[in-house]
Amino acid sequence: MSEQPHPAADADKLWGGRFNEPTDAFVERFTASVTFDQRLYKHDIQGSIAHATMLAKVGVLTDAERDAIIEGLQSIEAEIEAGRFEWSILLEDVHMNIESALTQRIGIVGKKLHTGRSRNDQVATDVRLYLRDAIDLSASELTRLQSGLIELAQREAETIMPGFTHLQTAQPVTFGHHLLAWNEMLQRDYERLMDLRKRVNILPLGAAALAGTTYPIDRTFTAELLGFDRASENSLDSVSDRDFAIEFTSFASLLLMHLSRMSEELVLWTSAQFNFIDLPDRFCTGSSIMPQKKNPDVPELVRGKSGRVFGHLMSLLTLMKSQPLAYNKDNQEDKEPLFDAIDTVQGCLRAFADMVPALVPRREVMREAARRGFATATDLADYLVRKGVAFRDAHEIVGKSVAYGVEQNKDLADMSLAELQVFSSQIQADVFDVLTLEGSVAARDHLGGTAPNQVRAAATRARNRLRQRSGQAD
C-alpha cells in the first residue's frame, strides 16, 4: 500500500487523511445519518459554542478565534433555520456538515473547533441536550392534560356512572372519580419523566473519542454553560451508553399504555351502545360511505400509536445489548427510534390535552346505565350485615333478589318493600336509602373512595400537586 494518498481519495472528507480510495457510493449512503440527525442542528451548535467558549477560557483558543467560531456557527444556524443550508450526504452526519460549513465560512480557525473533542462525545452531548428539551416540552403538555382532567373531575364529582370490573357493571361510581383514576396514572408518568431527566442532564463532552483528551479542558465549566447538573464520571461510559434513551422510551411506553387505556374507554363511551359522552366534531371524522358515522379517530389513533413506541423500546434495548465498550457505530441507530418516540409522545399528549376538556358527558345516560345494572347489590349486602346478617348469607340473599329482578326486569330500587322482604325479614323501609345510587356513592366516604366530597378533596390535592411543579404554570 502506498504511503501517499491515492489521487482519487476524497480530500473533502474530514477524516480523509489515511484513506487511499474514495468511499463506495452505496456505503456512503448506507453509513450516513444526516438525513435523520440534522434535527440535532440547534443542539449541535449550542454544544459547539459551549466547547469553544471553554477552550478559550483554558487558553487553547484565543478570544478572537472563539468569537469567529461563535459568529460562524450562529450564521450557520440562521441559514439552517431559513431553509437555505445545503446538507450533504458526503459529509455523513450533522456534526461534519456543520463543521465543514464553518471552515468554509471562517477559514482555518474553523478547523480548531474540534480540538479536544470527538464526534463520539459530541453526539452523546447533542442527543442529551435534544432529549432534555423534549422532556421539558412533554412535561408541560402532561401538566396541561392533567390540569384539564382535574378540572373536569371537579365538575363531575357528583355525576353517577356504572363502575366496571370485567367490563360488567359492578358498583356505581362518580365520573369524577373515574377521571381522577386517569390522573393518577399520568401523575406517575410525570414523576417517572422528572426522575429520568436527572440522568439525562449530565455532560458527556470531554470524554473525546473514549479516553479523554490531552488538553487542559474544564468540563465543569462546559457543564455549567450548557445547564447540565454535572459532568459525567467516566469517559468510556459517557460515549457508549444509551440507557438514557431507553429510559425515555420506557417512560413513553408506559405513558402510551395509559393513554391507550383511556382511548379505549373513550372509544367505548362514544359508541351508540354506551353513549356516555360526546366528543366535539373537531376531534372526529366521518365515513365516506356511511353518512351517519362519526368516528372517534383521535383516541383510536392514540391507542394504535402505543404499538410503535413499545417497538422502539425493544429496538433500543436490543441495540444496546452486548455492545462492548466504548463507542460503536451501532449507536447511530439510537436516533430514529428515540426521535419517533419523542414525536409520538408529543403528538398524543397534545391531542389529549386539547380533547379531554372538550369532552361532553351525558349524565342522564350514565346514571341510567348504573341504575339498570344492579349496581347497588353490594350496598344491599352491606345493609344486611349492619342488621346482623353474616356477609356470606347476605351475599346469598342479595343474589336471590337479583335473580328475581332479572326475571321480573326490575332493579333492586324498583322493588317494593314486600317483594324485598321475601328474601330477608331483616329488610326494613330504610333499605331504600342505600339502594339509591346517590346513597351508594356517598357511603364510600373515605380517602380514595368514590363519594363526591372525597372526589372534590382528591381533585383539590391533585391540583395542589400540579401547582408545586417548579416553573410550570397550570
Question: Which residues 6+ apart lie within 8 Å of 350 measured at CB?
Answer: 141
* b/e sequence 205-225, b meaning 16+ C-beta within 10 Å: bbbbebebbebebbbeebbbb
Catalytic residue, from 2, 166, 322, 425: name it: 166
User: Which span (75-83, 117-125, 304-312, 440-448) binds ligand ARG, by CB under 6 A?
Assistant: 117-125
DSSP-assigned states of every residue in 102-138: HHHHHGGGGGGTTTT--HHHHHHHHHHHHHHHHHHHH
Cell of 290: 356511511
The CB-of-239 to ligand ARG minimum distance in angstroms stands at 9
- Residue 389 and residue 423 in contact, taking contact as beta carbons nearer than 8 Å: no
Residue 298's identity, in one-letter code, is V
Q: Which is nearer to ligand ARG, 285 or 328 (CB)?
A: 328
Give catalytic status of residue 178 as yes or no.
Answer: no
100 binds ligand ARG (CB under 6 A): no
Identify any residues that bridge with 295 across adjacent strands, giving them in sequence order.
Answer: 285
241 binds ligand ARG (CB under 6 A): no
Q: Which is nearer to ligand ARG, 244 or 283 (CB)?
A: 244
315 binds ligand ARG (CB under 6 A): no
213 binds ligand ARG (CB under 6 A): no
Question: Which residues 6+ apart lie within 8 Å of 319 measured at CB?
Answer: 242, 330, 331, 333, 334, 337
Using DSSP's 3-state secondary structure scheme, residue 182 falls into helix
Give catalytic status of residue 166 as yes or no.
Answer: yes
53 binds ligand ARG (CB under 6 A): no
Catalytic residue, from 43, 138, 287, 322: name it: 287
Distance CA 334, CA 455 (A): 43
Q: Binder to ligand ARG among 48, 97, 120, 232 (CB under 6 A)?
A: 120
The CB-of-37 to ligand ARG minimum distance in angstroms stands at 6
Q: Which is nearer to ligand ARG, 77 or 92 (CB)?
A: 92
User: Which span (53-61, 327-335, 388-396, 425-433) binds ligand ARG, by CB under 6 A?
Assistant: 327-335
Q: Binder to ligand ARG among 138, 183, 201, 332 (CB under 6 A)?
A: 332
Q: Shortest CA distance to 465 belongs to which of 255, 188, 182?
A: 188
125 binds ligand ARG (CB under 6 A): no
Distance CA 165, CA 184 (A): 19
Which sequence positions are flagged as catalytic?
166, 287
Task: Give contact residues for ligand ARG (rule: CB under 6 A).
Answer: 33, 37, 93, 119-120, 123, 329, 331-332
